Amino acid sequence: MADALSEQYRRRFAATRDYRDAVWRLLVERCFQRWVGPAERVLDLGCGWGEFSRHIRAGSRFAMDLNPDAAALLDPGVHFLRQDCAAPWPLAAASLDVVFSSNFLEHLPDKAAVAATLGEARRCLAPGGRIVLVGPNLRHTGGAYWDFWDHHVPLTERSLAELLTLCGFRVEQALPRFLPYTMSQGRNPPLALVALYLRLPWLWPLLGKQFLVVGRVDAAPGEAPA
In a domain? residue 122: yes
**pLDDT class of 219 with cuts at 50, 70, 90:** confident
Torsion from C-alpha of 197, 201, 205, 209, nearest 10 degrees: 50
Does residue 29 lie within any of the structural domains? yes
Q: What confidence category does residue 16 fall into, taking pLDDT thresholds of 50, 70 and 90?
A: confident
CA distance 122 to 103: 19
- Does any domain span residue 221? no
Domain range for 61: 2-216
Query: What is the pTM for the complete model shown?
Result: 0.92
Locate the DSSP E strands across the chain: 41-45, 60-65, 78-82, 96-102, 125-136, 170-175, 210-216
Read off φ and ψ for residue 211, nearest 5 degrees.
-85, 165
183 — pLDDT class (breaks 50, 70, 90): low
Distance CA 70, CA 101 (A): 15
Count of the separate structural domains present in the chain: 1
- What are the tens digits of pLDDT across the range 91-120? 999 999 999 999 999 999 999 999 999 999
158-167 pLDDT, tens per residue? Answer: 999 999 999 9
222 found inside a domain? no
Structural domain contains residue 196: yes
Residue 158 belongs to a domain with what CATH number?
3.40.50.150
In a domain, 224, yes or no: no
